Structure 1
Amino acid sequence: MTKKLLALFLCILMLVSLAAGCAKPSSEVPEKTKAPESPEAPEVPEEPEEMVYTTLYASEVSTLNYLTTGTQWDQYVGANVIDTLVEYDNFGQLKPGLAESWEVSDDQLTWTFHLREGVKWYDYQGNEVAEVTADDFVAAAKYVMTPEYESSTFYQMEIIKNATEYYDPESPVKDFSEVGVKAIDKYTLQYTLVAPTPYFLSCLTYVCFMPAYGPQLEELGADFATDNEKMYYCGAYILSTFEPQVEHIYTKNENNWDADNVFITKIHRRYNAESATLAPVMVLRGEIDYADIDTSIVDDWLNNHPELLSKDRAIPDYSYFYCFNFNPTYDEEWDPENWKIAVNNENFRKSIMSGFDRLYAMRAIDPNDPESVLQNTIAPKGFASVNGVDFSSLEPFKGVEENYFNEAKALEYKAKAIEELTAAGATFPVKMVLTYRSDDDDWENEYIYLKQQLEALLGTDYIECILNPGTTDNFLTNTRRAGKYSFMRCNWGADFQDPSTWTDPFAPKFDSEAGKYTGNSYNFMDINLNEDNQNETTAVLKEYYALVDAAKAETADMAARYNAFAKAERFLIDHAVVVPYFIYPASYVATKLNAFEGQFASFGVSILRYKGQKVYDHYITPEEYEANYEQWLANIGG
């Protein structure tokens, strides 16, 4: 994508975030949709019986339980089989979902939703089970707020009255009737919030606000959604077949309330650990409908298969940034205790931050135009704006780029760090473990560039970068969340449209039973708040968390709120706790889907849904992609 197009896209996205409306439903259900002969004269597709979408996957989901998972790959399941109160169309416009209408009280604390009548739950074989009612939303919320189920998305529920208190075993709030989620009647659901939350509607497309059949939750408890037979479905699809490391088959829910807008009748995901290599070959043979085209083979495809090469849709929903790990758990051979000493020295972290040439490393991902996706803030450009100013351009971020690549500053920080770390008992070179997914060639190449560049600048007598290929299955659980890295490219996706969402990865995690901080699952920095682990990082974290709390407390003045969050984020960056990196570019793919027909929002799970998409009878060409993109821009006002 060119800089010009990206800039145009981001500007338009800021406008879209303020828009609301409903798309006109379509009644055509094609099998293989024929692309128009020209972008100006689209054909109306015929109406055959079946439309099948076939693709490969290399990593198995870790759970089907959409009420507990915080991983995007796992959330594909819930996004496609469970409907939400509201949803977004392919132009980013808010529209009714399971709720036909809603209203909010004058004090902005009580939201009341009126559910569609006649929406049903179905089992994995498509048999009707029961009606979807307000009680199912209450039961699901209670499940998320129950500590024993260890929901990774409970934090999103903290905006609800007494949710935090109910979750805390030491709190006097034991009765769920005291929590602000209630079924007023069979079709009326009410949420009462702790404070006015102007972005509340945007929260509702996330997994923790999805319903689940109450009696089933009560019966199964922790066994809920341990396989596709132990969950019910109310969404566009039913997970009719689930054979781990074999296949997933999603079958269209013909009885869904909005079935006329669900065109793909079957989604067939086939497991292959080598899919990254095999999928492009299978596309050439016409055996599957989608493949990611790795940067290592893009030139070959541009020269030999240009008619098959398209792009995905670039969305600023996920931000990529590098984290320093404050509590490494990798093997002793890499000296994790020595890393702990080093990482808690700010000059050491700044030597890495200033020494890291982000554009050089980014060549592995976007060799043609890395500047277009480079980010200087954690919250990505285009995510949200206030008073016409993008969040990433607010006053607190002025001059933030001075924190980044500067060889002279890096060497100054290095000299200071050596003196201070030597006094603290550290040894050199400091081993910095770079863990990546072993089947991700781009990620491996990125780390190779990083290693070459950092070691050349700072010297191998100061730092030794160690490339550590991680597992492919359950990568996040086995590596990042397990703390098996020193410095790692991480990502976070917006859960709702408010800058507070970008503070969530770094929120402190306190174990009330143990009486101590156990560390967030990103960089574990909050362990430095424990009395037995105080160091120079502790004061930085205390001030950062105070800034975040102050920003969250501002709910009346949106400009003040956004600026307060910008101040907190800038503080974290200035102290080199996190290094902002990029948003993923529109990657090269071979696909029979028009990316711009899918639901669109820069938060929640909307972009994971297949609802609204069609399988065409050929792979989308570059010309068709550009025409589809331009048409999409025109439809959202570009």
Structure 2
Amino acid sequence: MRTVVSENQIIRRSTMKKLLAILLTVCFMLGVFAACTNDNTPANTNGPEGNNNENPGQTQTQTQTQTQAPMSSGLDLSASDKPLKDWVTYLTLANEMETFNILYSQNNKELRVLTNCIDGLLSNDNHGNLVPAIAETWGTEDGGKTWTFNLRKGVQWVNMNGEPMQEVKAEDWLVGLEWVLNFHKNEAANTSMPTEMIEGAADYYAYVAGYQDLEIPADADAATKEKLTKNYEDAKAKFEAICEKYGLEPVRLTADEAKSMDLTVFKQMVGIEAPDDYTLIYHCVAELPYFATVATYNCLYPAPQALIDQLGVDGFYACTNENMWYNGCYTITHYINGNEKVLTKNPLYWDTDCTLFDTVTYKMVESGDVAFQMFQAGELDYIELTESNLRTIYNSESNEFHDYIVEARPTKYSYQLHLCWDKRDENGDPDVNWNTAIANENFRLAWYYGLDATPYLARTNFIYPQHCANYCYTMSNLVSFSNGQEYTERVMEKLGISPDGENYARVDAAKAAEYKAKAMEELAAQGVTFPVVADYYIQGSSQTALDTANVLKQLFSDCLGDDFVTLNIKTYISSVAKEVRNPQLASFYINGWGADYGDPQNYLGQETYGMDNAYYSEAYSITRNITDEKLIAVYEEFTNMVNAANAIVGDMDARYEAYADAEKYMIEHALVIPWYKNVLWQVTHVNDYSKIYAPYGIQGDKFKNWETSADAYTTEDYAKLAEAYAAGTAK
């Protein structure tokens, strides 16, 4: 097998060369394995053993009474076999939590913590298979239209101190879903999956949210007045039709009325029921063979009504670690914003056979360099290596960590350049120059074909930078066709991209120059001045972020030319949402999306047009304010393609093919620009192959059933662990 980086380019030491070659080969094997696990359905959607049922009408019931025991490698390793009782990790300040409400959060910076605090119906094991959590068994008898989850008895809600509050019961899932779908309780957070998948959920959301009064600006022209009036009349008619359908008075709810709603109307409208305390049934809008994967995500998480009554609706929305209830592995016993948070093992956790740490401590740091200093001082149990630290360690055989650097497994996140169509300046006025330029497709395509991300990728992985190359919106290994072809491979086929492992494959200097020339001619005629200034924001206290931004700035200069675009690096203090995104100050963002469930809809649905729950389209790109008719038409066509793909439920191959066409269309029109995936290098005291690992959901951040060592694992250890994992011989 050919390695992706030649020996004369990178590998200088024979021992390290052999070990990295083994790791590279094994990583390739793992990629192939992951891409070939399904049979017309998303990988491992049907239960603990990952059975893929060729007949979706057949009964699918899975049973398992406990999660798998922590994996022990059973290998002869250099690392100590003495496990760690406590784990100390770190996060940069940019990743500080902004909410403790797991039903509201849509960001990994919160969910990576909260997944350890609250359990849902299902989880995953270290191979990505679905395994029980609070649901002991689950299944469907009608091909995925109706799903039944049988809950374990005796699971407790506890407070921060681990004291029992009350038993977890099926109605908690009804309370949780009502909260998610109630606009006046939870805004529009986490609504996309329930409204798309569960009968009546979209109607309930629309009923509670109501519609906005007609407001026409005094200076609006006739076309604008007509459009606003039509939108109002359509929304009003939709609301009245929903009310008539369910026998409700066609009167909009006030915010206070919506906040005071119990489950009466919800049960009448929404396809979820709890026939007893330990049985939960979902009625889906169609046959959804992947629905069980949704049960790993927080949109279907439980909430105790007693806690909402205790705190009040506004208090529950803004709950803290001190007043929230827990049913998961840990409680958050100590929290200082921007400094430290401590998770303590839940003494009443239902899974008494699993392995947990006594405590998990998150240290908040300004940068990766600060974290590295802490690791050197023995204050952390793992460290992700910045480019400079990795180069120093790799190039010095005498470095204390030289034999301990290991390549981490890819995360589930696919990172893109997310473009803002309605950028504002600091006074709140439209940035007309940017907004006009970015709406021009030739301008965007010059970026798409011109930007060679390799120097940026090297910031994460200078040894094998192309391991981080990303050419699709969807992350790899999410789903595969029945012939074994992985979905993103099909997308790349359609795009004509053939990665060689050594170059950033989509770069085409000739095409970039052609699109640049066309864009400059067209935009100059529209009054755009060059170079177009692109404002890019980083956290001001992070030297690592500044170093990376400077690499990006130079990359823009080298690839596109200073006569075309200039990258302007700006800073925020603590919250990118409050300081940058909400006031619409950035020209673009580099952000990633990780799948919430095992289907391409969860990726592409974030970019559709005219949908309140399209996260990136609404919150980052601000598509609702686009005025360029050509751009609107492209978005509408893309949205129609996504909706058509989502309507295909009986033939998964046809479904994936339709999504691949939609994804190709989105990328070739540069509505977003795929950028990178995260494959970093680290020094660590945990065997990554023992961790929960799945291409979707929030379970992968659980500190559960980890195999750890008092000594850091060596490069040689990780080669053995990876090989055993791929071969299925690890204990």
Taking structure 2 as the reference length, the TM-score comes to 0.79
CA displacement at 1:189 relative to structure 2:
0.6
Name the residue aligned to 1:78. 114
Maintained 8 Å contact 1:505/1:522: no
Q: Does 1:389 align with 2:490?
A: no
Q: Against the structure 1 CA distance between its residues 368 and 589, is the aligned structure 2 distance closer, same or farther, given a 3 Å change threshold?
A: closer
* CA distance in structure 2 between the aligned counterparts of 1:53 and 1:637, rounded to whole angstroms: 23
Partners of 2:488 and 2:559 in 1: how far apart? 30
Q: 2:491·2:663 contact (CA, 8 Å) conserved in 1?
A: no
**Cα displacement string for residues 228-257 of structure 1 (whole angstroms, at most 9, x for unaligned residues):** 122111111112222323421211112212
Separation of aligned partners in 1, 2:79 and 2:556: 53
1:519–1:527 contact (8 Å) kept in structure 2? no
Alpha carbons 2:330, 2:346 under 8 Å: kept: yes
Determine whether 1:248 maps to 2:344. Answer: no
Match of 1:12?
33
The residue number in structure 1 matching 2:375 is: 283
Q: What is the Cα deviation at residue 217 of structure 1?
A: 2.4
Q: State the Cα deviation string for residues 18-55 of structure 1 (Å, max 9, x = none).
A: 344269867799xxx9x988249996x68xxx811123
2:467 equivalent to 1:366: no
1:470 to 572, 579, 595: 572
Per the alignment, residue 60 of structure 2 pairs with none
Shift of 1:615: 4.1
Change (3 A) 1:28 1:622: closer
In the TM superposition, residue 207 of structure 1 has moved relative to its aligned partner by: 1.2
1:356–1:450 Cα contact (<8 Å) kept: no
Choose from 634, 641, 644 the match for 1:550. 644
Work out whether residues 534 and 566 of structure 2, in 8 Å CA contact, stay in contact via their aligned partners in 1.
yes
The answer to whether the 8 Å contact 2:66/2:351 transfers is: no
Kindly state the Cα deviation for residue 417 of structure 1 after the two structures are TM-superposed: 1.1
Match of 2:272 among 173, 178, 181: 181
The secondary structure found in structure 2 opposite 1:165 is helix
* Cα pair 2:199 2:283 within 8 Å, conserved: yes
Does residue 155 (structure 1) correspond to residue 198 (structure 2)? The answer is: no
1:593 to 683, 686, 706: 686
Q: Is the 8 A contact 2:26 2:726 kept in 1?
A: no
In the alignment, which of 95, 98, 106 is matched to residue 62 of structure 1? Answer: 98
Match of 1:209 in 2: 300
Residue 138 of structure 1 and its aligned partner are, at CA, apart by 0.7
Instruction: Name the aligned partner's letter for residue 561 of structure 1.
Output: R
Contact 1:310-1:625 at 8 Å conserved across structures? no
Counterpart in 2 of 1:296? 388
**Residue aligned with 1:80, SS:** coil
Q: How does 1:243-392 map to 2 (within 5 A)?
A: 243-271=336-364, 273-274=365-366, 276-302=368-394, 303=396, 304-306=399-401, 309-311=404-406, 313-315=408-410, 317-331=412-426, 336-387=431-482, 388-392=484-488
> CA 1:439/1:616 → structure 2, altered by over 3 Å: closer, same or farther?
farther
Return 160-169 or 374-383, whichever deviates more: 374-383
Q: Percent identity over the alignment?
A: 27
Distance 1:111 1:452 in 2: 52
The alignment status of 1:53 with 2:151, answered yes or no, reads: no
Deviation at 1:636, TM superposition (A): 7.8
Q: For residues 358 and 277 of structure 1, do their structure 2 counterparts lie closer, same or farther at Cα, with a shift above 3 Å needed?
A: closer
Between 111-120 and 387-396, the greater mean CA deviation after superposition: 387-396
Residue type of the partner of 2:85? M
Say which SS state the counterpart of residue 287 (structure 2) adopts: coil
- Structure 1 residues 228 and 121: CA distance shift in structure 2, 3 A: same
Alpha-carbon separation, structure 2, partners of 1:437 and 1:634 = 42
**1:52–1:615: 8 Å Cα contact kept in structure 2?**
no
Q: Residues 497-536 of structure 1: matches in 2 within 5 Å?
A: 497-508=598-609, 520-528=618-626, 533-536=627-630
Say which of 456, 478, 493 aligns to 2:594: 493
Give 3-state SS (helix, strand or coil) of 1:164's partner. Answer: helix
Measure, in 1, the Cα distance between the counterparts of 2:114 and 2:586: 30
Query: SS of the counterpart of 1:520?
Result: helix
2:193 maps to a residue whose letter is Q
Question: In structure 2, what is the Cα distance between the partners aligned to 1:413 and 1:407?
Answer: 10
Answer whether contact 1:306 1:622 (CA < 8 A) is retained.
no
Please, what TM-score do these two structures have when normalized by structure 1?
Answer: 0.90
Map Cα deviations across residues 54-106 of structure 1 (whole Å, 9 max, x no partner).
Answer: 23333221011110010001002321011121111112221111111123132
Flag the 1:490–1:406 CA change in 2: closer, same or farther, 3 A: same
Structure 2 partner of 1:427: 529
Asked if the contact 1:237–1:252 (Cα under 8 Å) also holds between the matched residues in 2, the reply is yes
Q: How big is the shift at 1:183?
A: 1.1
CA distance, structure 1, for counterparts of residue 492 and residue 415 of structure 2: 21
Kept in 1, the 8 Å contact 2:458–2:465? The answer is: yes
Task: Report if the CA contact (8 A) 1:437-1:469 is conserved.
Answer: yes
Partner of 2:699: 606
Q: Report the CA distance shift for 1:183/1:383 in structure 2 as closer, same or farther (over 3 A).
A: same
Q: Which residue number in structure 2 is paired with residue 581 of structure 1?
A: 675
Amino acid at match of 2:338: Q
Shift of 1:382: 2.2
Q: CA distance change for structure 1 residues 206 and 491 in 2, over 3 Å: closer, same or farther?
A: same
Offset of 1:519 from its aligned partner?
5.3
SS in 2 for 1:479: helix
Offset at 1:307? 5.5
Please tell me whether the aligned partners of residues 16 and 636 of structure 1 are also in contact (alpha carbons under 8 angstroms): no
Q: Aligned pair in 2 of structure 1 residues 26, 213: CA closer, same or farther (>3 Å)?
A: same
- Secondary structure (helix, strand or coil) at the match of 1:183 reads strand
Give the residue type in structure 1 aligned to 2:381.
D
Asked if the contact 1:87–1:205 (Cα under 8 Å) also holds between the matched residues in 2, the reply is: yes
Deviation at 1:429, TM superposition (A): 1.7
User: Counterpart of 2:160 in structure 1: which amino acid?
Assistant: Y
How many Å separate the matches in 2 of 1:139 and 1:24? Answer: 26
Residue identity opposite 1:162 in structure 2: G
Letter in 2 for 1:103: G
SS of equivalent to 2:273: strand
8 Å CA contact retained: 2:417, 2:674: yes
CA 1:508–1:372 in 2, change beyond 3 Å: closer, same or farther?
A: same
1:347, CA displacement in angstroms? Answer: 0.9
Name the count of aligned residue pairs. 620
Distance 2:452 2:695 in 1: 28
Q: Show CA shifts across 1:338-374 (max 9, x none).
A: 1011011111111121221122432222222222331
SS at match of 2:360: strand
Deviation digits for residues 462-509 of structure 1 (CA, Å, limit 9, x no counterpart)? 2222122333x3335533455332133221111111111111321345
Q: For 2:115, what is the secondary structure of its paired residue?
A: helix
Higher mean displacement: 433-442 or 133-142: 433-442
Alpha-carbon separation, structure 1, partners of 2:723 and 2:322: 43
Tell me, in whole angstroms, the C-alpha distance in 2 between the residues paired with 1:546 and 1:329: 29
Equivalent in the alignment of 2:162 = 126
Kindly tell me: are residues 27 and 14 of structure 1, through their superposed partners in 2, closer, same or farther at Cα, counting changes over 3 Å? closer
Q: Is the 8 A contact 1:298 1:588 kept in 2?
A: yes
1:366–1:439 CA distance, 2 compared to 1 (3 A): farther
Candidates 415, 421, 426, aligned match of 2:517:
415
Unaligned 5+ segments in structure 1 are none
Does structure 2 retain, via aligned residues, the 8 Å contact 1:526–1:541? no
Displacement of 1:444 in angstroms is: 3.8
CA RMSD of aligned residues (A): 3.1
- 1:571 corresponds in structure 2 to 665
